[in-house]
Structure 1
Amino acid sequence: MAAPETAEALVRGVSPVLEVPFTQDGAIDVAGFGRVVRHVLGTGVSSVMFPGFASEYHKLSEPERATLTEVLLAQTRHNKGVAAIVAVQDHATRLAVQRAQRAVEAGADLINLLPPHFLSPSRAAVSDHIRAVLAAVAPTPVVLQYAPTETGSSLAAADLTAIARDHRNLRFVKVESSPPGQLISELAAGDPALPALEGYAGVQLPDAARRGAVGTQPGCSFTEIYVEIWRRFAAGDQPGAWDLHRRLLPYISYWMLDIELIIAAEKLISVRRGWFESAYCRAPRRQLDAEEVRTIDCFLVEFSDFLPAVD
C-alpha cells in the first residue's frame, strides 16, 4: 500500500473506473477482468477505482465482488506507482464501516464512499454515515462520491467542508452533478479546500479543469483519450485539449443519457479492442441497436490513433 500522502498524489489526473466483463452465459470473466486491469494500468494512469456504476457493482454478488477486488489488489498492492481506490456503497452504516475496513486491510490505498440514499435519509443521517466511515479508516484517504442523478440525494459544499474540517482523511469529492462546475468552485473555496474529481464520463471535463478539478474518473475502455486530454490541459495546451474533447463529446454525451447505455457501449468497445470476448451485460440492461453499434465502430475508426487493439 502507498502512504496516505502518496496515494493522494497518485489519484490526480485520470483515474478510470474499471468495468466487469462477463462470459456469454453471464458468469464473471475473472481472467478478462485481470486483462482489463493490466490494459488500463498500461495506459500510464496512476490510480483506478473499483467497483463503481461502470462496474455494474449493483449486479455483483458478494463473493464475485470479493474475487474481483482481490484480482485488482493483487496487481496494485505491491506497486508503489499505482493507487487502488476501492468503493463502498452499503446503505447501512455498520456494513459500510466493515466493508471499508476490510478493503484497507486487504490493500486498498483509498476508499471511494457513496453516501446512503435509499428511502431518502435525512441530511444529518447522511453526514453521520460519512463521518463514521471516515473515522473507521483514518488515516486512509477517502473520495466522497456525489452523484445526485443516480442517487436522488443532495449535499451542499458547506456540509462537505464541515465534515472535512473534522475528518482530515476526506481528501477528494467526486462531483457528478450536472453541471459540476459550481460545486467544484465552492469546494475549492472552502476551509479546508476540498479538491474535486470530475466524473460523468468527462462530459464537462473542460469546465471542471478550468475550475480547478484535480482529476477525472471516467469509464475505462478508452482511457487513452482522457489521458491525452488531461495531458494537454496539464501542459497548458488548452486549445488542443478543447479540440480533442469536442471530438469526443458527441459520443459521450449520447452514451451518458443512460447509465446502462454507456456500460453497454464501453463493453463493446473493449471487446472490439480485444480486451475480453463478450460484451454481455447482466439484466436489466440496455440492448444496443444496430445504429448504436455502427456509431461505436465509427468511434473506433475516428480515434484509432489513440486506441490500439490487443494483438
Structure 2
Amino acid sequence: MSSSARTRTTSPSTPADAAAPLRGVSPVLEVPFTAAGEVDDRGFERVVRHVSRSGISGVMFPGFASEFHKLSEQERWRLCGILLDVVKRHGDDDQTVVVILAVQEHATKLAVDHARRLVEMGADAINLLPPSFLNPSVAAVRAHVCAVLEAVAPTPVVLQHAPHQTGTSLDASTIGEIARTHPNLRLVKVESTPPGALIAALRALDPPLPSIVGYAGVQLPDAFRRGAVGVQTGCSFVEIYVEIWRRFESGDLDGALELHRRLLPYISYWMSGVELIVAAEKLISVRRGLFADAHCRAPAHHLDAEEVAMVDRFLAEFAEFLPVVQV
C-alpha cells in the first residue's frame, strides 16, 4: 500500500477529541474460531496486528461482524484486552489507531456498567447499540442512550443506528436533541437502508452531527456525497475500502466510483445476510493467511460451492490490494 493511503497520525489531545480521527475507515474486527469452535486468541491477535497496519483510522469491537452475540462475557472481555494490548502497547509508532469498544447490553444498568468498565480499560470511544428486545418505546431507548452517555462523559460515543438488524430506530431530530444535551455523542453509525436521508438530516442539524456509514459500504458513494465522514466495514478486505476512501478524499471521484463498482456485486450479494458476509469474510481471511479455520459458531451460514468459488474470484480480481498477509 502506498504511503498516501495511510491515515492521520496525530494523537487526540483530550478524550473529547478522540472521535476526530474517525474520518476514513474503521473496520469491525472478526473473531476467528478453531475447528472445534473455541476462540483462536492468537488468530485474533494476528487480525488486530494486520488491520491496524492497513491505513485505517480506528477499529471497532465487537460488532455483528465479530459474532458478538455468540461470544461469552468472559470471551468478550479477554478479546477486548488482547485488542487494547496490541494497539496501545505494541502498535506502530507512526500511526494512531482509535479503539472503539462496543456496548450491546439491553438492560440500561448493565450497559452503563459495561461502558464504564470499557473506558477504564482504555477505550478511546464507545459504540452504543440501543436496546431492541421486546420493542422498547422511543422514550425508553432515549433514556438508555442518555444514561450511557452520562456514565462515560467526556469519552466520545458512536451511536449505532441499525434498524434493519434490530428494529430500533431514532429519527434525526431525537438524536440531535440527545447530542445537544450530551456533547460526547460525537458520531452516528448509519446502517439504515438506504442510509443517505438520515446522514443528510444529521448533517443539517444545528449543530451538525457527523455520521459514518456501515452495512459493508454498499451505499458508500451516496453516503459520501451526503456528508458521511467515514465508513465502518468488515476487516478481511479492508485495504479496498481504504483505497476507495483515499480516492474520494483526494478528489479522484471517478477512481473511487470505479473501484466501488467493481466491489459492489460481491458486497451486495454477501450483505443479503449478516451470517453470509461473516462466513465469506472469514474464508477470505483464511485464504489470506490470517488464521487457520473459517469456522462460524452455530447458528451460521455455510458457504456452498458456488459461494466459495465467488470468494476465490473476488481474491483473484482484487489481488493487487489483498496480498497474503505477513504478520
TM-score (norm 2): 0.94
Q: Give the drift of 1:12.
A: 1.4
Name the amino acid aligned to 2:46.
R
Counterparts of 1:215 and 1:6, CA distance in 2:
16
What does residue 141 of structure 1 align with? 156
Counterparts of 2:88 and 2:144, CA distance in 1:
27
Q: Give the drift of 1:169.
A: 0.1
Is residue 157 of structure 1 aligned with residue 168 of structure 2?
no
Identical positions, percent: 66
Counterparts of 1:77 and 1:225, CA distance in 2:
25
Q: Aligned pairs, how many?
A: 311
What does residue 7 of structure 2 align with? none
Aligned equivalent of 1:53, options 64, 81, 99: 64
Aligned equivalent of 1:38, options 49, 56, 72: 49
What does residue 253 of structure 2 align with? 238
CA contact 1:90–1:96 (8 Å) conserved in 2:
yes
Q: Give the drift of 1:46.
A: 2.1
CA contact 2:28–2:65 (8 Å) conserved in 1:
yes
1:148-168 Cα shifts (integer Å, max 9, x gaps): 010011210000000000000
1:206-239 Cα shifts (integer Å, max 9, x gaps): 0000111000000000000000000000000100
CA contact 1:18–1:36 (8 Å) conserved in 2:
yes
CA contact 1:164–1:170 (8 Å) conserved in 2:
yes
CA contact 1:10–1:46 (8 Å) conserved in 2:
yes
Is residue 178 of structure 1 aligned with residue 193 of structure 2?
yes
- Partner of 2:19, secondary structure, is helix
- Partner of 2:134, secondary structure, is coil
Counterparts of 2:146 and 2:88, CA distance in 1:
26
Unaligned stretches of 5+ residues in structure 1: none
Q: Give the drift of 1:48.
A: 0.2
What does residue 219 of structure 1 align with? 234
Aligned equivalent of 1:20, options 24, 28, 31: 31
CA contact 2:30–2:235 (8 Å) conserved in 1:
yes
Q: Give the drift of 1:5.
A: 4.1
1:240-279 Cα shifts (integer Å, max 9, x gaps): 0000000000000000000000000000000000000000
Aligned residue runs from structure 1 range 23-172, under 5 A: 23-78=34-89, 81-172=96-187
Counterparts of 1:61 and 1:207, CA distance in 2:
37
Q: Give the drift of 1:310.
A: 2.2
TM-score (norm 1): 0.98
Name the amino acid aligned to 1:237.
D
- Partner of 1:308, secondary structure, is coil
Counterparts of 1:111 and 1:245, CA distance in 2:
29
Counterparts of 1:193 and 1:116, CA distance in 2:
25
CA contact 2:15–2:124 (8 Å) conserved in 1:
yes
CA contact 1:77–1:108 (8 Å) conserved in 2:
no
Counterparts of 1:50 and 1:130, CA distance in 2:
19
What does residue 308 of structure 2 align with? 293
* Range that drifts further, 2-11 or 205-214: 2-11
Is residue 10 of structure 1 aligned with residue 25 of structure 2?
no
What does residue 6 of structure 2 align with? none
